[in-house]
């Protein structure tokens, strides 16, 4: 059969569909580029916001309209609303998160052992989810109680993959040609805390650096606590991508307390100071929520000032969206939509200005760029798009359609979203 994969949401969802694709390939099936070509469509859903849940339902409807494939639905939205998922067109299987590792066996009606004997080399998914970077799932679930978040209910308690399993997955990615792996999890920083004796995320990263030949190791989103000085010493190794995504959510101490976040503005400031002391060029990006219940004008101004002070390399701003089943949905002091929109625009402007400042410092420098795509060819050659290890988006022209290669690029000017440069070599 031909299997098509689609996903909404986080990098963990991307890593999961890559793993499921390997399982279907191991069972002798192939991966389709579009839903129209497929016999089976697998959709990994999300419910972190109302918009993500809506996008998940839309993906299912789009797949149903595209052809006659049977649809398997999994992920966070399907876990929290299984009956609604079953009523969607062409849906034959609804697989909750806790049974996701059995999805391939369930769809094929065969024992798990049939295709899970030894790892295959990773192959990038075709179509819109093709990635040169390999997303490696190292952890699932969360033991935090952030009052705005529904993910803990959908994913369950924190669970860590073993060092051996992760190293094997990274080796499979390298064998398949991946230059960069992205370690992913719901609460990535909690990796190893469910072991006895407990381990720290740095132990896993040290094993990857010592036991594999992967050229780049990147971390997905990390909650800004429980990291410590030893953790930041990992960046003494040049294979560590100089980028950390540390969700702040608010720069107001009172708002953070209502969110039940395990940090404060002073603690977050110290964390960034430690990271920058060990790696001065590190790009630190973040997430911020505006309009959280009870957020007064003063609290917002405090949050805005703190975000400005932190000089982030970029970030995402989310307007608070009430999610049924969360503690925040029961709070008083809901903020009016017009006020939220105004705060969102002001916060985005601050982050945009700090991202410009960060990118500006690289004008005239040379950086390694991993090419992710090329979208046109003209008199200047192919226009390539890629990422530095700082997660700076770079475009350049080349006589060859380079893909999944790292080139040295001289960065010469700003673009709307990143930088434009000149390739100094053909890549490797």
**270-318 tens-digit pLDDT:** 999 999 999 999 999 999 999 999 999 999 999 999 999 999 999 999 9
389 with 349, same domain: the answer is no
pLDDT tens, position by position, 124-178? 666 666 668 899 999 999 999 999 988 888 888 999 999 999 999 999 999 989 9
Ordered DSSP codes for 179-227? SEEEEE-TTGGGTTTTSSS---HHHHHHHHHHH---SEEEE----SSS-
Same domain, 306 and 253: yes
Burial class (CB in 10 A: 0-12, 13-18, 19+), 58: exposed
Domain end point (choices 58, 85, 114): 114
Give yes or no: residues 348 and 213 share one domain.
yes
Beta strand 283-290 pairing with 314-319? parallel
In a domain, 242, yes or no: yes
Q: How far apart are CA 84 and CA 146, in angstroms?
A: 26
User: Is 428 among the domain residues?
Assistant: no
pLDDT at 428: 57
Q: Report the CATH number at residue 40.
A: 3.40.50.12160
Residues 214 and 341 in one domain: yes
Confirm whether 355 is domain-assigned: yes
Number of H helices, E strands in the chain: 13, 18
Indicate whether 316 and 187 sit together in one domain: yes
| Displacement of CA 183 from its chain's centroid (Å) | 9
- The pLDDT value recorded for residue 152 is 81
Q: Are strands 139-140 and 159-160 parallel, antiparallel or unpaired?
A: antiparallel
Q: Is 192 inside any structural domain? A: yes
- Clarify whether residues 107 and 138 are in a common domain: no
Same domain, 300 and 356: yes
Q: Are 118 and 291 contacting, i.e. CB atoms less than 8 angstroms apart?
A: no
Which strand (E) or helix (H) includes residue 253? helix 253-259
**β pairing state of 180-184 and 381-387:** unpaired
DSSP state of 160: E
> Residue 127's pLDDT is what?
61
Q: Which residues of the chain have pLDDT under 70?
A: 112-122, 124-131, 426-428
Among 114, 143, 175, identify where a domain stops. 114
Pick the last residue of a domain from 53, 79, 114: 114
How many domains is the chain partitioned into structurally?
3
- Give pLDDT, residue 114: 62
Q: What are the CA-CA distances from residue 17 to residues 80, 103, 125, 136 (Å)?
A: 19, 11, 9, 10
Six-digit token string for 140: 């699932």
Is 0.75 topped by the overall pTM? yes
Q: Does residue 124 form part of some domain?
A: no
Q: Note the pLDDT of residue 229.
A: 85
Do 355 and 369 sit in the same domain of this protein?
no
What pLDDT score does 336 carry?
96
Q: Are residues 137 and 16 located together in one domain of the fold?
A: no
Residue 119 lies in a domain: no
Domain span at 30: 2-114
53/164 same-domain check: no
Instruction: Answer yes or no: is 125 within a domain.
Output: no
Q: What is the pLDDT of residue 379?
A: 81
DSSP-assigned states of every residue in 350-399: HHHHHHHHHHHTTTT-EEEEEEEEEEEEETTEEEEEEE-TT--EEEEEES
Query: Apex CA 416: angle with CA 414 and CA 418, to 5°?
Result: 55
User: Residue 245's closest CA among 275, 266, 267, 216?
Assistant: 275
Do both 344 and 402 map to the same domain? no
CATH code for the domain in which residue 330 is found: 3.80.30.20
At 135 the three-state DSSP class reads: strand
354/382 same-domain check: no
Domain presence at residue 121: no
């Amino acid at each position: 059969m031909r299997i098509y994969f689609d996903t909404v949401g986080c990098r963990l969802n991307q890593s999961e569909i890559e793993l499921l694709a390997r399982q279907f390939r191991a069972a002798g099936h192939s991966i389709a580029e579009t839903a129209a070509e497929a016999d089976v469509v697998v959709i990994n859903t999300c419910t972190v916001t109302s918009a993500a849940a809506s996008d998940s339902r839309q993906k299912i409807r789009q797949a149903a309209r595209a052809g006659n494939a049977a649809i398997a639905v999994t992920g966070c939205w399907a876990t929290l609303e299984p009956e609604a998922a079953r009523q969607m067109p062409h849906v034959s299987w609804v697989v909750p998160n806790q049974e996701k590792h059995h999805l391939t066996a369930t769809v094929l009606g065969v024992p798990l052992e049939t295709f899970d004997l030894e790892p295959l080399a990773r192959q990038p998914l075709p179509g819109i989810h093709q990635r040169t970077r390999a997303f490696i799932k190292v952890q699932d679930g969360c033991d935090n109680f952030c009052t705005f978040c529904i993910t803990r209910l959908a994913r369950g308690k924190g669970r860590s993959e073993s060092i051996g399993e992760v190293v094997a997955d990274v080796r499979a990615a390298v064998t398949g040609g991946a230059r960069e792996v992205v370690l992913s999890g719901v609460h990535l920083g909690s990796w190893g805390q469910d072991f006895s004796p407990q381990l720290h995320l740095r132990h896993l990263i040290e094993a990857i650096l010592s036991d594999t030949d992967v050229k780049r190791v990147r971390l997905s989103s990390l909650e800004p606590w429980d990291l410590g000085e030893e953790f930041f010493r990992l960046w003494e190794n040049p294979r560590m991508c100089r980028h950390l995504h540390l969700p702040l959510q608010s720069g107001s101490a009172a708002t953070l307390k209502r969110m039940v976040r395990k940090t404060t503005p002073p603690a977050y400031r110290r964390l960034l100071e430690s990271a920058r002391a060990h790696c001065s060029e590190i790009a630190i990006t973040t997430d911020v929520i505006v309009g959280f219940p009870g957020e007064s004008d003063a609290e917002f101004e405090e949050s805005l000032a703190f975000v400005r002070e932190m000089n982030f390399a970029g970030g995402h701003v989310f307007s608070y969206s009430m999610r049924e089943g969360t503690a925040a949905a029961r709070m008083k002091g809901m903020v009016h939509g017009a006020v939220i929109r105004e705060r969102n625009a002001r916060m985005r402007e601050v982050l945009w200005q700090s991202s410009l400042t960060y990118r500006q410092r690289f004008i005239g420098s040379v950086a390694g760029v991993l090419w992710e795509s090329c979208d046109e060819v003209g008199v200047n050659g192919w226009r390539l798009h890629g990422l530095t290890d700082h997660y700076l988006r770079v475009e350049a022209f080349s006589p060859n359609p380079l893909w999944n290669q790292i080139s040295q690029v001289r960065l010469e000017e700003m673009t709307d979203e990143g930088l434009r440069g000149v390739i100094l070599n053909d890549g490797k």
